[in-house]
Structure 1
Amino acid sequence: MSMAANQPLVSIITINYNNVAVTCDLLLSIACVNYPNIEVIVVDNASAENPTAALVEAYPGIKVIVSEKNLGFAGGNNLGIKAATGDYLFFVNNDTVMTAGLVDGLLEIFQQYPDAGIVSPKFHYYYAPGVIEFAGYNQVNVFNGRNTMVGCRKKDYGQYDKVSETHYAHGGGMMVPAKVIAEVGMMPELYFLYYEEFDWCEQIKRKGYKVYYQSNALIYHKESMSVGKHSTLKTFYLSRNRILFMRRNVKGVPLVLFTCYFTFITLPKNVATFLVRREMKHLQAFWKGIAWNLSNYNIKNS
C-alpha cells in the first residue's frame, strides 16, 4: 500500500455499449498491469442490458456508471472524467488488451517531458500478432481532411521504438493529466463518434502542450468491435465529422481548398462508389453527414 501511495493515482476509463464480454476481457487484462495505484471506471452507454454485475465480477472494486442514454464516445468519456479522482486519466477502448508496463511507460512521458499534454502508446493489432496499428499520427491533410497512422500494418521490427512528438493521440488509448483537462476542458461532445480526439488534441496543443507517442508502452487493439467495420453509423459520422473537424480547426485558404476538394472530388467519388456497390443505405448516410453540416453552418470554430 505504501508503494502505491507514493505514486500518482491513474484513472482508467472505458466505455461499454452492448459488448460486455469484450469489456470484461479488457478488465481481466488490467490485472496484468504492474502499476499499483489505479482506479477503473466503466461508463455504460445505455446498453440493452445492465452490465454492472458482470463487470464487477470481472474486476471487483470497479466504478460502473450507467447512462440513461447513449452519449457517444466523448459524452461517455466525459461522464468518466466527472467520476475520476486520478492525477492522470487513461482513456481506453473496451476492445483493447493491456500489457504489464503500459501505465508505467505512459507516465514516464509526463515525468520526462514537462510540455506533454497527452500521450498514446504503441498499438498492435490483437488478431495480427507483431503487426503495428499505430506508432503516431501524421497531420490531417488540408486538401482531403484525412490522415494516416505511422507504421500502420507494418511488422514491428523495432523501427518505431523511439519516443516522438506526434500530431494526434489515438482515441483507443490516451493518457491525459487531470490538470490539463481542467485547463483545456473535457472532450468535445459535438462529434459523438470519430474525430473528437483529433479536435481535443488541437485544443490541447493550442494551450501550449504537445502530443507524444510512447514506444515503450504497448496495447493490443481488436479494432472496430463496437461499431463494426462497415456500418452506416460509421459512414454517417465519418462523413459528418470530417467536415466538422476541418470547419473548427482550419481557417482561410486551407479551408477553401478542402471545401473545393470535397465538393469536386470526394463527393462525386463516394457517390459513384456507393452506387456501383449498390450500398444505398451508405449513400444515404453519406448525404446525411453533408446535410448536417449545411444545416449547422453557424457552429463556432474550436
Structure 2
Amino acid sequence: MNAVPRVSIVLLNWNGGDRVVECFRAVRAQDYPEIEFILVDNDSADGSVEKCLAAGKPDKLIRLPENRGFAAGMNAGIAEATGDWVMPLGNDVYLSPDYVSTVVARGEADPEIGVVGGKEYAWADGERTNLPRPSAGALFVSRELRGRWVPTSGDAYAFGVSGSMPLMRRAMLDDMRAVHGYCYDERFGTGYEDLDLWFRMQHRGWKALYCPAATAWHVGSASADGASGFLDKPPDYQQRLFRNRHLIWMKDISPGMRRRLWLRWHLFELLLPAYLLLRAPSALGPWWRGRCDARRQAAAFRSEGETTSRQALVPESVMLGFVR
C-alpha cells in the first residue's frame, strides 16, 4: 500500500449534460494528493463526454457500447481501478474540495471499515443549497426493507451510507468478488443495488461509517429525469424497484431475520396495492410486473441467499441491530 492510500474515483455518466461537467471539475479540484480518476460513459448521446474532456483529462476513459445501467457501468470502472479505496460517483453529485481527504482519514482509522460516506445536500435548479437531502444521515433498514435515514451530527456506524458517493475499501470489494463473483449485482440494474451490497458487506463483518463532516451536493435520480418521489419516477423505474425489493428479501435476508421480519414484511405487501390504488393507480401495473419479474428469478436468488447465509461471518442478532 502507498504511504498515502490511493483513491480511485469512478465517475459514471449517462447523458449528464452540463451537470456532469461540474461533477468532473469537482473531482479534479479535490485537495487529496493521490487520486486516480476514471470516467465511464454509458453510451451518452448528448455530447457530455466531449464537454468533460474539454475541461480536463481523466486518467482512464471507458466508453461502453450501450447504456448498461448503474451497477454494470460501475463494475466496469471498478475493474480498472487500482486504488486502495474506490469511490463510485454518480454524474449528479458535486463533491466539496475536502470530501475525499475527509472520508479517507476516517476509513484509515479502522481497518474493519468497508465503506465511508458523507452528508448530502440538495443540488436543485443548478444551485448547491444548504438543505440536507432526505438521505443525509446514517442508513438503517426498516422492517419492510426500506431505507431509514437517521440524522446525526457526528460520525456514526450504521448499516450503510448514501450510494451516491461512498468510499469503499479495496479489501471489502475483493471480499465481495471472492464470495459472490462481483461487486455490484448487475441484475439489479439501477435501484437497490447499493442496499444489496451493504447487506452482503455487513454479513461478512465489514463496517459502514457515516461521516457528516464530508459534504456533497446531489440532484438525485438523474437517471429518472430527476424525479425525487418514487411515484413520480417512470414506470420502468418503478417496476425495477418493486422487483428489486423482492430480490433483496430472497437473497440477503437470512432465515432468522426472515422469521423476525415476516409479519411486517407481509403486512406491508398486503396493504401496498390498496395504497397504490388510492394514491397512484398508474403504479399498480409496475407493481404487478415487478412482482412477476421477481418470481421468475426466485430460484436463482434463493439459491444465492443460501450461499450468503453460509458465508456470513456475523450472527443474525448483529444484522437485526440495523433494523430500525
| Structure 2 length-normalised TM | 0.81
Structure 1 partner of 2:199: 202
Question: Which protein is richer in helix relative to its size?
Answer: 2
Q: How does 1:67-216 map to 2 (within 5 A)?
A: 67-127=64-124, 129-133=129-133, 134-142=135-143, 144-151=144-151, 160-185=152-177, 186-216=183-213
User: Separation in 2 of the partners of 1:235 and 1:61?
Assistant: 34
Runs of 4+ in 1 over 6 A off after TM superposition: none
SS in 2 for 1:121: strand
**Cα gap change, 1:11 to 1:52, in 2 (>3 Å):** same
Unaligned 5+ runs, structure 1 = 152-159
1:47 is matched with which residue? 44
Distance (Å, rounded) in 2 between the aligned partners of 1:29 and 1:138: 25
List gaps (5 residues or longer) in structure 2.
178-182, 309-324
* Local SS of the residue matching 1:226: helix
AA partner of residue 287 (structure 2): F
Partner of 1:296: 297
Equivalent position amino acid for 2:57 in 1 = P
Q: In structure 2, what residue type is equivalent to 1:139?
A: F
Distance 2:174 2:212 in 1: 27
1-structure distance, mates of 2:186, 2:138: 22
- In the alignment of these two chains, the number of paired residues is 284
Q: CA deviation at 1:177?
A: 1.5
What is the match of residue 235 of structure 1? 238
Alpha-carbon deviations, 1:240-284, whole Å to 9, x = none? 111111222223324532552243211222234323xxx3xx332
Partner residue of 1:155?
none
In the alignment, does 2:269 pair up with 1:263? yes
TM-score when normalising by structure 1: 0.87
What is the Cα-based RMSD across aligned positions, in Å? 2.0
**Cα deviation code 1:118-154 (max 9, x no counterpart):** 1111111123622222343442222x22122223xxx
Query: Which segment drifts farther, 228-237 or 103-112?
Result: 228-237
Aligned mates of 1:90, 1:263 — CA distance in 2: 34
- Identity, % of aligned pairs? 23
| Counterpart contact for 1:169–1:198, Cα < 8 Å | no
Compared with structure 1, are the counterparts of its residues 137 and 271 closer, same or farther at alpha carbon in structure 2 (3 Å cutoff)? Answer: farther
Question: Structure 2 residue aligned with 1:244, among 247, 268, 272?
Answer: 247
- Counterpart AA for 2:246: I
Counterpart check, 1:287 vs 2:310: no
- What is the letter of the counterpart of residue 223 of structure 1? G
The answer as to whether partners of 2:10 and 2:74 remain within 8 angstroms in 1 is yes
Answer with 104-113 or 41-50: which moved more.
Answer: 41-50
Cα distance in structure 1, aligned partners of 2:46 and 2:3: 39
Q: Supply the distance in 2 between the matched residues of 1:114 and 1:137 (Cα, whole angstroms).
A: 19
